[in-house]
Amino acid sequence: MPETLFKINAKEYILPGNRSCQGCGLSLAYRMALKALREKTIMVLGPSCLCVLHGLYPSTAVLIPGFNTTFASAGAAASGLVAGLRALGRDNETVCAFIGDGGTSDMGIQSLSGAAERQTDFIYVCYDNEGYMNTGTQRSSATPLGAITTTTPIYTKEEHKKDLVRIMEAHEIPYIATANAAYPIDLYDKFVKAKKIKGTRYIHLFIPCPPGWGFPPKDTIKIGRLAVETGVFPLFEIENGKFHFTGRSRALAERGHKIPVSTYLERQARFQKMTPAQVNVFQQWVDRRWEDFLRRAEADAKHFLS
Amino acid sequence: MSRVEIMTGNQAAALGARLARVQVVAAYPITPQTSLTETLAQLIESGEMQAEYIRVDGEHSALTVCIAASTIGARAFTATSANGLLYMHEQIHWAAGSRLPIVMCCVNRGVGAPWTIFNDQQDSISQRDTGWIQLYCRDNQEIIDTVIQAFRIAETIYCPVMVCYDGFVLSHTLMPVEIPEEEKVDAFLPPYRPHTILDDTNPRTINPVMFADLRANAEGILCDGYMEIRYKLEYALKGALKTIQDVSDEYALVFGRDHGGLIWEYKTSDAEVILTGMGSIATEATIAADILREKGIPAGVVGIRAYRPFPTEALIRALKRARSIHCLEKAVSYGFAGPVYTDLRAALYGSECDAQMQDYITSLGGRDIQPSTIAEVVLNRIKSDAFDGRFREPIWINCRTE
Ligand SMILES: Cc1ncc(C[n+]2csc(CCOP(=O)(O)OP(=O)(O)O)c2C)c(N)n1
Ligand code: SF4
């Protein structure tokens, strides 16, 4: 059953006055995620914006225990927490790793892959602000084509974003979902669901980042929504290998059309150097993926009905 | 009754971990550590040992798993060698900085490049400045006993311990080993209690970003800055000198075996020529000392068991009558000298010991050395008139240096 706004856990787990930027998509998403995960959760953190949001010693803004680990090691750290909890017979706690796209798709991919291959019982969240934001907006492998970063300052990023969801799918884990800071109820539902499942669950969060992407802090939700409306970041779940769209993406899929990516790109300073040809390539990339998802949704729905 | 079995150093280490009731094991195979990992897998899968065994994707992950498990409150153990240890480097610091009583065996092997699978001690030496206690073993009996002692030391002062022993020389050599009795080990090593409880009754963020200076918390209490926390690690390591000795003494009382705590001595009471080193090279030096004695040289050996913390006082006491000290080393600080020589020279400077000192680099990458060769080079060195207390370049034994 999808939750409604009124059913959302009223308790706040992030205290007022954390260290994220104004308009930060991460703080919105993290707030909702913690509401869904609730107590009895141990959070694995890496060097990232979230590490800073959690607070600098000796204060923390978060009411969930946080375990900082090094950049490359979140999957292994979660494995160690799970193993330790099992050894001690503490069996009603959820281990969750909440790691940036850099800590996931670049440095941390080995330990994440190891943990998923071992079917470690934890939730791994990649919060994707499409760059190394904590160190000042450098390119990561999750940075999209055409984006200016401080390490792609002149030519912009010349490759497409790494498709981490497909990599995670190859591990045959029971639950994969995408969610977006701009769709809090959809996001909340997915964390509630993930919490109930055993094994490795992977959630890929889309996190609009005003300073890193170059848009006004008031537009975080707008940018997040445009990513979905344009098909740049579709919302879906893959449960035991079965794909289906959720929320706004489901409506778009049923209605059959999405809006051009240029409406999304032109609102962000990071894309200001894109040539029309690059925009075209970006559009084709989005279209190809969207068509794939549509076909897959249809096939899996048929399979489900038969 | 304790029983004696013939076993390799790696089996002795695995049995030590089982007797210590390790709860989480994470390890990744590398020669010459591999059979230790395999023995643990066998013990755990057969039900002889109750532990979670995480078959990780690499050594960085192996130590990370131990760090996380130890934080939660489970007794954690890992082992590695050479490049595996180097691959862990970031986490080796992290474990010590987090003050976690993890025990790791380092089955000493030379590091690449070029590749070698054979023994020297460059691997553990290159992790010297991480805040881990380092103990070096001489034989397989000492390995099993030291693994048990290591947990007791680690959990007393909340610092990780590296139990180092020479690859192949010990790891793959069969020796009789007396297996300590389970009940006695249980009494000697009470269950592990973590320094911080990680749950939501008192939610904390462990190892957050620190400032340089002291900072007030929400209650207005001034809390440590980075430097105070680092000083506490140093203070704990210095205090470990006493803990290591006490634990060793108590172990000797309970189990009847004394491996010497910080250092051990061989025929030193009348010795003027002292050979020193760590691990099996120091054992070999005892035979060299006997050869020297046959030639009329009053030689003895001071073996260093605890390299970090460095047992300055114990060494001054043991070496104060020495006329010359000869350091046999299986590692180099490239561009200067061997690590034992470097530290020992600094420790003895200005003390009541004013012996001449010479450094020898030996056995890198498993190059064989005979006790007779050690005796010969030491004899040559003593006879040399250039022995005037000044720094001399290390002598590379059994090495073509032209
Ligand atoms: C081994 C290592 N290399 C580099 C760094 C420096 N570093 C800290 S945070 C960071 C970027 C993090 O990026 P991401 O995971 O995407 O999270 P975000 O900052 O965007 O939230 C980097 C490169 C580090 N902490 N550790
Ligand atoms: S840089 Fe971006 S993701 Fe990081 S805190 Fe600021 S807005 Fe949030």
Number of domains present in the structure of chain B: 2
Query: B175 and B274: one domain?
Result: no
Answer whether B94 sits within 8 Å of A60, measured CB to CB.
Answer: no
Helix, strand, or coil here: B26? Answer: strand
Q: Which of B55, B65, B216 has the CB atom closest to A80's CB atom? A: B65
Do B353 and B320 touch, CB atoms closer than 8 A? Answer: yes
* Residue B171 alpha carbon to ligand 1 centre in Å: 39
pLDDT > 70: percent of chain B: 100
Average pLDDT over residues B21-31: 98
Residue B329: both structure tokens together: 């080393």
Kindly give the number of the ligand 2 atom that is closest to the alpha carbon of A217.
7
Given ligand 1 and candidates A134, A138, A143, which is best to mutate, with the most ligand atoms within 8 Å of its CB?
A134
* Residue A56 alpha carbon to ligand 1 centre in Å: 16
CB of residue A20 inside a 6 A radius of ligand 2 = yes
Do A186 and A246 touch, CB atoms closer than 8 A? Answer: yes
Average pLDDT over residues A44-50: 97
> Is B163 among the domain residues?
yes
CATH number assigned to the domain comprising residue B177: 3.40.50.970
Nearest-by-CA chain A residue for B70: A84
Answer whether B217 sits within 8 Å of A59, measured CB to CB.
Answer: yes
CB of residue A71 inside a 6 A radius of ligand 1 = yes
pLDDT tens-digit readout, B192-208: 999 998 988 888 999 99
Answer whether B217 sits within 8 Å of A55, measured CB to CB.
Answer: no
Angstroms from A9 CA to nearest CA on chain B: 17
Cα A141 off chain centre by: 14
Q: Is pLDDT of A305 > 70?
A: no
Average pLDDT over residues A140-156: 98
What's the mean pLDDT when you consider all of chain A? 96
Residue B205 in contact with partner chain A when CB distance is under 8 A: yes
Given ligand 1 and candidates A48, A101, A105, A209, which is best to mutate, with the most ligand atoms within 8 Å of its CB?
A48
Query: B182 and B269: one domain?
Result: no
> Is B123 among the domain residues?
yes
Separation of alpha carbons A264 and B140, rounded Å: 67
Average pLDDT over residues B103-125: 98
At B74, the pLDDT band (50, 70, 90 cuts) reads very high
* Residue A99 alpha carbon to ligand 1 centre in Å: 10
Q: Write down the residue that tokens 């970090």 correspond to.
A: B308
Question: Which of B188, B211, B245 marks a domain boundary?
Answer: B188
> Is B355 among the domain residues?
yes
Query: Which one of B205, B209, B228 would you mutate to disrupt binding with A, by most A Cβ within 10 Å of its Cβ?
Result: B205
pLDDT > 90: percent of chain B: 95
Tell me the residues of chain A between 66 and 85 that have a Cβ less than 8 Å away from chain B.
66-70, 72-73, 75-81, 83-85
Q: Which of A45, A76, A84 has the CB atom closest to B61's CB atom? A: A76
Identify the weakest region by mean pLDDT among A2-16, A284-298, B20-34, B360-374: A2-16
pLDDT tens-digit readout, A25-42: 999 999 999 999 999 999
pTM exceeds 0.95 for this model: yes
One-letter amino acid at A217 equals P
Decide yes or no: CATH 3.30.1450.10 for domain A25-305: no
Q: Which ligand is nearest to the CA of A25?
A: 2
CB of residue A134 inside a 6 A radius of ligand 1 = yes
Helix (H) or strand (E) holding B234: helix B226-255
CB of residue A47 inside a 6 A radius of ligand 1 = yes
Q: Is pLDDT of B23 > 90?
A: yes
Query: B272 and B173: one domain?
Result: no
Separation of alpha carbons A148 and A269, rounded Å: 8
pLDDT tens-digit readout, B265-322: 999 999 999 999 999 999 999 999 999 999 999 999 999 999 999 999 999 999 999 9
Residue B220 in contact with partner chain A when CB distance is under 8 A: no
Q: Write down the residue that tokens 């990680």 correspond to.
A: B198
Residue A34 in contact with partner chain B when CB distance is under 8 A: no
Tell how strand B103-108 and strand B76-80 pair up: parallel
Separation of alpha carbons A49 and A25, rounded Å: 11
**Beta strand segments in B120-245, E:** 133-136, 161-166, 175-179, 205-206, 215-216, 222-223
Confidence at residue A2, expressed as pLDDT on a 0 to 100 scale: 56
Q: Is pLDDT of B396 > 70?
A: yes
Separation of alpha carbons A179 and A292, rounded Å: 19
Q: Whose CA is nearest to atom 6 of ligand 2?
A: A21
SS (H, E, C) A191-254: HHHHHHCCCEEEEEEECCCHHHHCCCHHHHHHHHHHHHHCCCCCCEEEECCEEEECHHHHHHHH
Question: Which of B172, B188, B204 marks a domain boundary?
Answer: B188
Question: Which of B127, B162, B188 marks a domain boundary?
Answer: B188
* Residue A211 alpha carbon to ligand 2 centre in Å: 7
Confidence at residue B133, expressed as pLDDT on a 0 to 100 scale: 98
Q: Whose CA is nearest to atom 7 of ligand 2?
A: A24
- DSSP for B240-291? HHHHHHHHHHHHHHHHS----TTEEEES-TT-SEEEEESTHHHHHHHHHHHH
Exposed/middle/buried for B239, CB within 10 Å: 0-12, 13-18, 19+? middle
Query: B36 and B177: one domain?
Result: yes
Average pLDDT over residues A59-84: 96
Answer whether B69 sits within 8 Å of A52, measured CB to CB.
Answer: no
Nearest-by-CA chain A residue for B218: A59
Kindly give the number of the ligand 2 atom that is closest to the alpha carbon of A133.
1
Residue B300 is part of which domain span? 263-396
Residue B51 in contact with partner chain A when CB distance is under 8 A: yes
Query: B165 and B267: one domain?
Result: no
Q: Is pLDDT of B352 > 50?
A: yes
**Beta strand segments in B3-128, E:** 3-7, 24-26, 52-54, 76-80, 103-108
At A1, the pLDDT band (50, 70, 90 cuts) reads very low
Q: Whose CA is nearest to atom 24 of ligand 1?
A: A71
Domain chopping of chain A, boundaries: 25-305
Do B347 and B310 touch, CB atoms closer than 8 A? Answer: yes
B202 vs B86, residue with greater confidence: B86
CATH number assigned to the domain comprising residue B327: 3.40.50.920
pLDDT tens-digit readout, A188-206: 999 999 999 999 999 999 9
Query: B36 and B181: one domain?
Result: yes
Confidence at residue B386, expressed as pLDDT on a 0 to 100 scale: 76
Confidence at residue A5, expressed as pLDDT on a 0 to 100 scale: 73
Q: Whose CA is nearest to atom 26 of ligand 1?
A: A71
Residue B12 in contact with partner chain A when CB distance is under 8 A: no
Q: Is pLDDT of A4 > 90?
A: no
Q: Which of B54, B76, B215 has the CB atom closest to A58's CB atom? A: B215
Query: B177 and B288: one domain?
Result: no
At A75, the pLDDT band (50, 70, 90 cuts) reads very high
* Residue A106 alpha carbon to ligand 2 centre in Å: 19
